[in-house]
Chains A and B, each alone.
Chain A
């Protein structure tokens, strides 16, 4: 297997013809707002009916591929951990993941990411947006796109939730709706696992609250009737969702779960937030990001990974089991991803540094061809030797697995913006 086939030839003709077609198509859209989808409404409705969700386990700071999905035992770069066989013959992962090793059937490992940006900020943006920033366009991140693509306007639950309760690296935890608008920004939880301001004030009765809501809606609808303003509509839409969101308050309360389930997940913050993520997914939230910080192990990489991978192994395997037992795994994708991996070279503090040239992620559940490894690195993990992909290819794969055409284009003014960069294509081997 070599570099994957790319259906976009890269020629100007190809690029121009795509854009030309789309420009024409956009013009025919006539009265469509500045941002719109070029697709049949019935298709969009069909997609949403499929009721798919994503839980992203964001390993902030950069987890080591060598201590997780791509071990190199016995090599000078391999570190002290062994590789263990998994329930899928031929696939070995780090000994730090014995529980996931017994649950590989639903998981695809990608070992061939080359994303080139080894800085925390730049890498995190790349792996949230699936592409490089452009000066003139503010792209939406994965969560915003999925909230838009998979969420429902009339949903009673939040459609984009982001946990990042540690402080280190929080600034890199992109939550960006970009040109999709504030409607698709995440509900960000940064200080605890429950939204602070979701509960109704005790000084306002339920009846009062509903009447205020109805009055505000009446006035707002009249006001907007004679005006054309996206921001006003967005504002109105947000308000209309408030009562639904307030009703979702209990989703964040794990005391509502049986103790046996809480015990299965365990007592750590990451475990509790993953349990909430499952509750949200079960209730219909299309995208939840649980950020686990902080994997930046420049010193004592092996001690850090002994702590953090052990936790990831337990929590992730519990989450997959829980989703599966509830019949949710087929429509819920679980992703492990970070801004980059870590250097094969072990530094003087027994640490590993930033490394974006050859690293790994995993995809489980919805739309994924589990029990397989895609791509390969060389014997020391220094370079990708097979199936190199970039962030755009990964995002195309995620979208495709969810039933979203990755070459769908949004319009920002007259400019077509594809969901993924033009050269990107899905890794078909990973798709179910």
Chain B
């Protein structure tokens, strides 16, 4: 049973005491989650108690998890990338990948390259197997136009793994050609930079998620729209769909139902629809028609969603967030 956007519903909810920032599936019943306790936990989602066993070695929030063959790679706010032997449950390699927080990882579709983005405003592309740095992509500004530290939040590979998109706090998105390591396109999404010059003199927001369509033509960019009160995540969840090669905005969607950040975007392999998830104090998951930008189905989540993982063949979606693991039927 492959995923169908019309079937979206929660089938299991597991409560946790920690905050979960990343998830990857090991098989139909087991997942790894990256936690605010600086550890990677392995859980059996069919076990009623869902007890965790852990891999430890990071010193801050674990924000990225990727499976590379029979190994797991984790990334954290401590700037380190770690490779884990899953059978022995041991760390086999640790790389000082970035000078500041690693915000996100992305694994190429062929499983050979791993991208990391960090608040040092550098994107590095690694050989996912041997841990050697393949590209160092620099182009995002280190400070915002208002002289504050910027943040490089997210990255995504194109389906053919030729292009990599990266996006930052001020709504600047860059598409890189990984053959040359050069910037080939830049897109601006200024609505997602929530700088408030008068009431609060600071900002929240930024571009938090990216996804290429499977045919490589569309790039969906997610964040939060205009917000009046940035004490809270009070803006409407937002995403913009671009024909990125033309630099043409196809759809901009501000969600009337859900507030907060669009933290994750994942295309269905068909390319007809994608999943957007995130939230403010609470969370949301929605399936969106990629042609029209209209919602197909959506659902409130019990907590802010920080990461999702679509297992298409199982028709399952795993989401993790603030104190929760959710398993969805699609």
Which A residues between 21 and 39 are near B, CB-CB below 8 angstroms?
A: none
User: Does B304 contact A80, Cβ atoms closer than 8 Å?
Assistant: no
- A47 contacts chain B at the CB level, 8 A cutoff: no
Contacting pair A306 B199 (CB below 8 A): no
User: Does A46 touch B at the CB level, under 8 Å?
Assistant: no
B59, A82: Cβ atoms closer than 8 Å: yes
Could you say which residues of chain A place their CB within 8 Å of the CB of B230?
299
Q: Are A294 and B200 in contact (CB under 8 A)?
A: yes
What DSSP secondary structure best describes chain B's contact surface?
Answer: loop
Q: Are A166 and B198 in contact (CB under 8 A)?
A: yes
Does any Cβ of B come within 8 Å of A168's Cβ?
yes
Tell me which of B17, B38, B151, B202 has the highest count of chain A C-beta atoms within 10 A of its own C-beta: B202
B147 touching A266, Cβ below 8 Å? yes
A92–B192 Cα distance when bound, in Å, is 35
* Distance of A21 from chain B, by nearest CB (Å): 49
Total count of chain A residues near the partner, CB < 8 A: 36
- Interface membership of A74, Cβ < 8 A: yes
B204 with A300: CB separation less than 8 A? yes
List residues of A (280-329) whose CB comes within 8 Å of B's CBs: 292-294, 296-300, 303-304, 306-308, 310-311
Q: Would you call B232 and A308 a contact (CB within 8 A)?
A: no
Confirm or deny: B1 has a beta carbon within 8 angstroms of a beta carbon on chain A: no
Closest residue to B17 on the A side, CB-wise? A76
Interface pair B149/A306, CB less than 8 Å apart:
yes
Q: Which residues of A contact B323 (CB under 8 A)?
A: 348
In the complex the two chains form, what is the Cα distance from A270 to B18 in whole Å?
A: 36
Q: Which of B146, B200, B231, B303 contacts A166 (CB 8 A)?
A: B200
**Digit string of B187-209 for contact with A (CB within 8 Å is 1, else 0)?**
00000000000111111100000
The answer on a CB contact under 8 Å between A348 and B282 is yes
Tell me the residues in window 304-362 of chain A with beta carbons closer than 8 Å to chain B beta carbons: 304, 306-308, 310-311, 346-351
CB–CB A76/B37 < 8 A: yes
Q: In the complex, are the beta carbons of B200 and A311 less than 8 A apart? A: no
Residue in chain A with minimal CB distance to B61: A80
Cα A269 to Cα B199 in complex, Å, equals: 13
Whether A80 and B149, one on each chain, are in contact in the complex, defined by CB atoms closer than 8 angstroms, is no
Is B260 in contact with chain A by the CB < 8 A criterion? yes
> Which residues of chain B (124-175) have a CB below 8 Å from chain A?
146-149, 151
What is the minimal beta-carbon distance from B64 to any residue of chain A, in angstroms? 14
- Report the nearest B residue to A292, measured CB to CB: B201
Residues from chain A with a CB closer than 8 A to the CB of B146 are 268
Tell me the residues in window 196-240 of chain B with beta carbons closer than 8 Å to chain A beta carbons: 198-204, 230-234
Cα–Cα distance between A306 and B152 once the two chains are bound (Å): 13
CA distance A293 to B202 in the complex (A): 8
Q: Does A167 lie at the interface of the complex (its beta carbon under 8 Å from any beta carbon of B)? A: yes
A interface with B by C-beta (< 8 Å): 61, 73-74, 76, 80-82, 166-168, 266-270, 292-294, 296-300, 303-304, 306-308, 310-311, 346-351
